[in-house]
Amino acid sequence: MGTVRRAIKKDAHAALKGHWGTAVLITLLTLVVSFALGLFEGAVPLMLGAPGFFASLAQSANPWEAALDCAPWFLLFTALMGLLSLIFVAPMAVGTADWYMGRSEGQQQDVSHIFWPFGCKKFWGSMVLFVATYLITLFWEILFLALPVGLIGYGVYSLYYLNLDPLVQTLTITGILAAALFLLVLLFFLAVFLSRYSLAVYLMGKRYAKGPLGALRMSARITKGHCFETFWFGLSFLPWMLLNGLVVPMFYTLPYLQMSFALYTRYLVELEEKARTPMTLPAFGEGPALLDELHAEQPAPEAEAPAPQVDEVVEEVEAEVVEDSAEEPRILEEAIMENNQPEEVPML
């Protein structure tokens, strides 16, 4: 996997060569949209004179009562902002992923390509994809984490609200620490498992033309047996992602990350097809291409013995016929001589 990962990252740099300006502009547009939505979400409560949910809890003498009073408003506002974000962010994410997928094939596309889902049925499909991904993630999070979170919560509740003996308190604290460790282990396996859906957004574009559910199924299929590799591939960008806190490096790390994942998606798709013909992923720059290295690891097919030429076969048959025809008179003469020999008459 290390060789493949290095080859993909090398090809990602080469694919972006000469197109960094477009990639940076796409990144800037997506960040501006996200920042505007966040700013709007924070400004609306201030304009309406309604404090935020957590601010209401901090200012109230009875947090539980304040939570019940603020919960309906908070949930409604959160749902509306989530819908607004979905309308803008989801189609742009699909369009951006398709721009990187096209660039990985050498296509020349301008910035406006990231808006193409807004004018077709992919607009609705992109929103379905994001909602389905959220629901699937929520389901597996509950399945993986419900037990350790419940144990930790019950342990903390017991320590604060129940009069426990010192021995029981010690055992409870030990149980909380064990549950926390178990939670960390489950979080790791959950992240590895959920990586099987991380490539769906790249499969909804024009190259593979999958619907939202079809993209999720295809993503799970091509990553089957490669979930840990996919997780580790994303984790290898962590040092670069940490630099995003400085904002400016974001205009390098995000295009680099998305191009790498576009190439990685194509790699897994073609790997699943198990094609022995030269794969279509182009080699940018010098050195062996990623998929040439992949085929170099496969055993070469055994060479078949060359078929005999038709003329050689005819000559061999004619030679056998001549030998048989020359041998038949000799056998006949020997038989006649044996029959003409006089029989010996026994003496009395």
Structural domain boundaries enclosing 213? 2-288
Residue 140's pLDDT is what? 95
Residue 345's pLDDT is what? 44
* Each residue's pLDDT expressed in tens, for the chain with a length of 348 residues: 668 888 999 999 999 998 999 999 999 999 999 888 888 877 766 676 555 555 555 555 555 555 556 656 676 777 788 888 899 999 999 999 999 999 988 888 889 999 999 988 889 999 999 999 999 999 999 999 999 999 999 998 888 888 778 888 889 899 999 999 999 999 999 999 999 999 999 999 888 888 999 999 999 999 998 999 999 999 999 888 888 878 788 899 999 999 999 999 999 998 888 644 554 555 444 444 454 554 454 454 454 444 444 455 445 545 554 455 554 455 445 544 555 555 444 443
Residue 336's pLDDT is what? 46
Asked, for residue 176, whether it belongs to a domain, the answer is yes
Residue 20's pLDDT is what? 92
Residue 66's pLDDT is what? 55
Q: Give the chain's domain count.
A: 1
Asked, for residue 348, whether it belongs to a domain, the answer is no
Asked, for residue 312, whether it belongs to a domain, the answer is no
Asked, for residue 211, whether it belongs to a domain, the answer is yes
Asked, for residue 299, whether it belongs to a domain, the answer is no
Q: According to the 3-state scheme, what is the secondary structure of the chain? A: CHHHHHHHHHHHHHHHCCCHHHHHHHHHHHHHHHHHHHHHHHHHHHHHCCCCHHHHHHHCCCHHHHHHHHHHHHHHHHHHHHHHHHHHHHHHHHHHHHHHHHHHCCCCCCHHHHHHHHHCCHHHHHHHHHHHHHHHHHHHHHHHHHHHHHHHHHHHHHHHHCCCCHHHHHHHHHHHHHHHHHHHHHHHHHHHHHHHHCCHHHHCCCCCCCCHHHHHHHHHHHCCCCHHHHHHHHHCCHHHHHHHHHCCCHHHHHHHHHHHHHHHHHHHHHHHHCCCCCCCCCCCCCCCCHHHHHHHCCCCCCCCCCCCCHHHHHHHHHHHHHHHHHHHHHHHHHHHHHHHCCCCCCCC
Residue 301's pLDDT is what? 46
Asked, for residue 188, whether it belongs to a domain, the answer is yes
Residue 312's pLDDT is what? 53
Asked, for residue 108, whether it belongs to a domain, the answer is yes
